[in-house]
Amino acid sequence: MIDPIAVRLGPLAIHWYGVIMATAILLAALVGTAEARRRGENAEVGWSMLLWVAIGGVVGARLYHVIHEWAYYAAHPALIPQVWIGGLGIPGAIAGGVLALFIYTRINRLPTARWLDIFVIALPLGQAVGRLGNFVNQELYGPPTDLPWGIPIAAAHRIGEWTNLNLYPVDTTRFHPLFAYEALLSLATLGLMLWISRRFARRLYDGDMLLIFIMCYGLVRSCLETFRVQNWLIAGIPTATWLGIGGFVLAGGYLWLRHARGWGTPGAWIRSAEAAPEVAGPARAQPG
């Protein structure tokens, strides 16, 4: 068990959760920079856009969590902005980040779908690193397990029936580390998306990688949700499961339909980079 506060400077406390989230955003941004250059876009534009996307993602993630736990936050409204103590929902982060990117690219007349693909390539790495914050805060865990990678959870962070320390002693009870499962599956998603984006570069439309990410995350979240308790339910089914399955079906259906109907230009970013190499300068890479 780790002290959630990394550094204390008098009255100022720097939380590990914040450090980890900042690291996750930075690493994802570096991957996004490489992807922007590969696609012939100016990476500096991506860095300018990052603040918008990061703020939109954090606000969306927090709103998702607060709505989920509204009975608690309605009684403790001062805790709503305290994101450093944990409580961020990935579905909300995706929605908030996409909305912020859409607004930014519309205002600056940039290719929205292409920049969505650039950012979404990097997103799984940010997810994987960011989930380490759940370990520090002892959240996002599943039921007790005898598996060797089970983790201890302090009594103060127990929920539901697991608060009964006579049945589930702190010294001997271990729990499924759902955050670790999602982190590993996020890395697998990253590998898959990098492979698809390169293997089928000349066949993909701008925006396809976003749809593929939604499909992958929908499957991952729907499977992991079966381990969770005290879920936010709609009609007896976890909300995240509705969103995950719905996202998989809708994104997959639209991905198939847009290719069946030809609603896009195959390899559009490659054609753009080849047509105007003189605009690229050192920041634009030749397509491979």
Question: Per-residue pLDDT tens for 154-187?
Answer: 999 898 889 999 999 999 999 999 999 999 999 9
Average pLDDT, the chain: 88
pLDDT in tens, 75-131: 888 888 887 666 778 888 889 999 999 999 999 999 999 999 999 999 999 999 999
Q: In this structure, are residues 219 and 282 in contact, taking their beta carbons and an 8 Å threshold?
A: no
Residue 163 falls inside a structural domain = no
CA-to-CA distance for 54 and 56, rounded, in angstroms?
5
Distances (CA, A) of 151 to 41, 89, 143: 43, 22, 11
CB 218 within 8 A of CB 248: yes
Tokens representing 215 are 């499909």
Amino acid code (one letter) for 274: E
In which region does residue 10 sit, left (phi positive, over 0), alpha (psi from -120 to 50) or beta (all else)? left
**Choice between 50 and 273, residue whose per-residue pLDDT is larger:** 50
pLDDT surpasses 90 at 235: no
Inter-residue contact 58 to 82 (CB < 8 Å): no
249, part of any domain: yes
Q: Is residue 186 part of a domain?
A: yes
Of 287 and 257, the structure prediction assigns the larger pLDDT to 257
- Looking at residue 236, its pLDDT comes to 81
Helix (H) or strand (E) holding 6, with range, is: strand 5-9
Q: For residues 25 and 54, is the Cβ–Cβ distance under 8 A?
A: yes
pLDDT at 270: 87
Please spell the DSSP secondary structure of 211-222, one letter per residue.
HHHHHHHHHHHH
Residue 52 structural domain: 5-142+177-282
On whether residue 154 sits in a domain, the answer given is no
Task: Name the least confident of 242-246, 250-254, 283-287.
Answer: 283-287
Tokens of 191: 């590998």
Q: Report the alpha-carbon distance of residue 254 to residue 274 in Å, rounded.
A: 28
In a domain? residue 9: yes
pLDDT tens string 11-23: 888 888 889 989 9
Mean pLDDT of 238-262: 94
Q: Is residue 264 part of a domain?
A: yes
Question: Which residues does 209 contact at the CB level (< 8 Å), separation at least 6?
Answer: 116, 117, 120, 121, 193, 196, 197
Rounded to whole angstroms, the Cα distance separating 102 from 122 reads 17
Overall domain count for the chain:
1
